[in-house]
Structure 1
Amino acid sequence: MTLTTAPTAEARPTRKRTRTHTQELQGVRGLAALSTVAFHVWQQYYVYDATGSHPPVDNPHLAALLSLEVIDLFFVMSAYLLTLPYARTAIDGEGTVRTGQDFLFRRAIRILPVYVTAVLVVWASRNPTLPGDWRDLLEHLTFTHIFDRERIFYTLGPTWSLSLEISFYLVLIAVGPLTIRACRRLPTRRARITACTAGCATLYAFPLVWITIAHYTLGIPHTDWPVYFGPQARFGGFAAGMGLAVLLVALEDRGRLGVRTATALAATAATALYALSYTARATGPEGFWRTYYHPLAAVLWFALLYAILHNSVQPRWQGALRARWLTAVGLISYSLYIWHEPVMLLLYDTGLLPSEGSQPGFALAVAIVTATAVLAATVSYWAVEYPGSLLARARDRRGCPRDFYSSSP
């Protein structure tokens, strides 16, 4: 069964739906995925010696651009898209939301086929004799490696973020239905919007409190990865995405941004993201701006996505996000995210990448890794990811298993 709410007399059951901007978001995913590849090549070419760490190119502006850490953008987008049905049902009583079981089934067929394949292939290649590091394999298959300070970046380094995704799914299917039930008792739309907004603000505030206590009260260094990479510290990105869903439902069909306002907001958010990255690097890993980097970045990504999703007339720059090559990269972005690191390490270890970290060598390395990883991701998408998504047809719109062999005429 699915959760529904009957619209109250005050709600507008015929509220017109706004465009979902699917192509633009696909383009944003593509840009974020390419940025992630470049960032990890940048990290690979770092040199560590007695005097400290040295980037492959001694240019602080390039370093700030590559170090934007767009993982917060992925969190905000994911939470926005998955929270939208809950927000519409809670605020306006429109539509339906899937049961927790059906929701988890659909998320599982979305992320598990490629992820499990990659974990098994990469782990086996690095553990040629059994039992190997069986704990690393077990933790990755159960998404618990984020709580292991030693193994958090083993096998598939970037996939610590998937552990956070799983945590968000569990929170959403627990909090979402409770919010819908609570909103049924509220008499006005404004009260329902206020309740949903307060819930998102609370979820956003919790990581801020955790980070403050961990860093300034307990003095835990940022290299204690589970403390600062775990869901208790990184849920701000998901909370921001949930808040974006609530805001756009609240403002649906009204208060839309004009071209100049949307452009100005997007430019301001992008500039602030760059400034935040630059300042965080300049003040060091234990400084204020690095400590609160991710909650602050989540708010700025929130603002940038709001400018893209809620404008009345699309600015010309937004059309670039619908470029076919970029949306094509967005389509395979999940496979690209999963495979780019093992592809990069394989190329590096076999001597197929430049050995030095000079500017020409780094640029060439980015080009080679990107081209190879995009090819691998394309194969992965069509051979594993897309066929896995077809399992969604095993359930009908109500989330019930389809009877493919019904005897009824």
Structure 2
Amino acid sequence: MSLTAGAAASTAGVPASLDLAEGLRDRRTYLQELDCIRGLAILLVFLFHAWGLSGLQVPGNPAPGIGLIAGGNTGVTLFFVLSGFLLSLPWLRHAADPGQPKPLLGAYFKARALRILPLYYVALLVTWLLTGDTATITRAALFQFVGFQAFPYSVVWWTLVTEIQFYLLLPLGMLLWTAGPRGRLCCIVLLLAWAAAYTALVVVGEMADGKTFLLSKSLFARAPAFLIGIATAAAWLRLADAPILRQRSRMLAGLSLALLLLALALLERILLAVTQMAKGAAEVSWHLHHSYEAALWAVVILCLLLGQLPAKRLLVNNALAVVGKLSYSLYLLHVPVLFYLIYPLRESMGPEAYQASVWLYLVPAAALALALALSLASYHWVEKPFLRRKRALPV
């Protein structure tokens, strides 16, 4: 199976202090495509928050691509799909080939802790020093849902709570799935029970406004994205060495490109529909749109991993891979940076004057440059030492 395509990539344009495969216990499994997809996800989330903080609205006849910007919170769904894909791979490899090492639970949990906790707790400490909001920081430190109580710092924290829920449940599901027929049957029964409850509360019924935040952002409602990520990983493992996909042909290249463009076009239409609904209405009455997004992102991932795309370097390149490598720092940092650069200027000029000026474009660009610089620093001083400890864990 071809696992080393990304590992052999040129290091041109990559900062000397940045190893794109840092933290991987088996460097042969590095896939540059996934780092680039992660970079695309954080850029979408960045543009989404820049759009919102600038006070922009989707026009009646939006230009192509506006849906991906105004609905750029789809990047969070993409992050969830990537988590399902990457974290399930060791179990799926072992299930497909018992000769592959079976994941060790202790190493798995240590790896997750080393990847997530250090930078997150540094962010909480900085927020506490700036705000003095002990109650909110304590709740966040215990991975309880926090919304805008520590705005603008806490805007993205809820996603880490959902990720942690997935990290805790994934080993149970995978152990059952790989434990033989009885374990697989038990896993199927549990999935069917969740699917029944999900259908009743999310697909058929509307979620009550008072419960929308907790329910719609919990693993219960966001599980389809993670499950689609797992299914995508299984499909990739099965198809990666398919003889027909190893052949280079214009027909395959054209089909891959057509599927990719179709997935992005459908995603754009879904996101436009969401942005044109009343604020929060999609979360209450059409939460299923997140599952549609996840399915379309899965198509994009498979097209990039398996397809012989013309001009693939537009989406798979070192610059986007670097953004993907810095995505965790950038994710935690970008909202405060955007807020403190955009909001004072927007308020002093007035929203309409700001939106009609060149500052509408210059300020987010400056914010992105500053956020990337801060992310590189936090990656070097906070993430990197713990990633090296993670790399030393058993495979």
* TM-score of the pair, normalised by structure 2: 0.79
In the TM superposition, what is the alpha-carbon distance from 1:305 to its structure 2 partner?
Answer: 0.7
Please say if residues 279 and 289 of structure 1, whose CA atoms lie closer than 8 Å, have aligned partners that are also in contact: no
Among 45, 51, 64, the alignment partner of 2:67 is 64
1:124 pairs with 2:136 = no
- 1:135 corresponds in structure 2 to 135
Structure 1 residue 35, shift from structure 2 partner: 1.8
Residue-by-residue CA offset, 1:254-290 (whole Å, 9 max, x unaligned): 1538212211111111111001111222344435984
Q: Which has the higher contact order (CA 8 A, sep 6+)?
A: 2
1:178 aligned onto 2:208: no
Pairwise CA distance, 1:55: 2.6
Structure 2 match to 1:248: 236
Shift of residue 246 of structure 1?
1.4
The answer as to 2:112 corresponding to 1:107 is yes
Shift of residue 242, structure 1, vs aligned partner: 0.5
* Alignment pair present for 1:298 and 2:286: no
**SS of the residue 1:316 aligns to:** coil
Q: CA RMSD in A?
A: 3.2
Structure 2 CA distance for partners of 1:33 and 1:176, relative to 1, 3 Å: same
Does the 8 Å contact 1:208/1:295 carry over to 2?
A: no
Structure 2 match to 1:11: none
Matches within 5 A, 1:201-212: 203=191, 206=194, 209-210=197-198, 212=200
Is residue 336 from structure 1 mapped to residue 330 from structure 2 by the alignment? yes
Which residue of 1 is the match for residue 270 of structure 2?
276
Residue 374 (structure 2) aligns with? 376
| Residues 210 and 232 in structure 1, CA contact (< 8 A), matched pair in contact too | yes
Q: Distance in 1 between the 2:194 and 2:62 partners?
A: 32
8 A Cα contact 2:35 2:321, kept in partner: yes
Matched, 1:161 2:156: no
Q: Which of 361, 364, 382 pairs up with 1:363?
A: 361
- Whether the aligned pair in 1 keeps the contact of 2:105 and 2:171 (CA below 8 Å) is yes
Q: For 1:249, give the aligned amino acid.
A: L
Give, in whole Å, the separation in 2 of the partners of 1:201 and 1:80: 22
Deviation per residue, 1:110-136 (Å, 9 max, x gap): 111111111110222012xxxxx3321
Give the equivalent residue in structure 1 for 2:11.
none
- Long gaps (5+) in structure 1: 1-15, 47-53, 128-132, 187-194, 399-409
> Cα gap change, 1:235/1:117 in structure 2, threshold over 3 Å: closer, same or farther?
same
In structure 2, distance between residues paired with 1:252 and 1:228: 34
Q: Structure 1 residues 201, 324: CA separation in 2 closer, same or farther (over 3 Å shift)?
A: farther
Secondary structure of 1:145's aligned partner:
coil
By how many angstroms is 1:84 displaced?
A: 1.0
> Looking at CA atoms only, which structure, 1 or 2, has the larger radius of gyration?
1
Instruction: Name the CA shift for 1:256/1:171 in 2 (closer, same or farther; >3 Å).
Output: farther
Residues 152-205 of structure 1: CA distance to partner in whole angstroms, max 9, x if unpaired? 97742112111111111111111112211126x89xxxxxxxx69x96897599
In 2: Cα distance, 1:394 partner to 1:327 partner: 23
Q: Distance in 1 between matches of 2:222 and 2:163?
A: 10
The reply on whether 1:24 has 2:21 as its aligned counterpart is no
* C-alpha contact 1:200 1:240 (8 A) present in aligned 2: no
The count of aligned residue pairs is 356
Partner of 1:309: 305
Q: Identity of paired residues, percent? A: 26
Q: Please state how far the C-alpha of 1:237 moved relative to its aligned partner.
A: 0.8
Partner in structure 1 of residue 318 of structure 2: 324
The Cα shift of 1:373 comes to: 0.7
Letter in 2 for 1:259: A
Structure 1 353/27 Cα, relative in aligned 2: closer, same or farther at 3 Å? farther
Structure 2: unaligned runs, 5 residues or longer: 7-30, 247-251
Query: 2: distance between equivalents of 1:20 and 1:108?
Result: 28
Moved more, 291-300 or 276-285: 276-285
Whichever residue aligns with residue 292 of structure 1, its letter is L
Using the alignment, how far apart are the partners of 2:391 and 2:158 within structure 1? 29
Deviations 1:366-406 (A, max 9, x none): 212111111111111111111121222554x36xxxxxxxx
Match of 1:34 in 2: 43
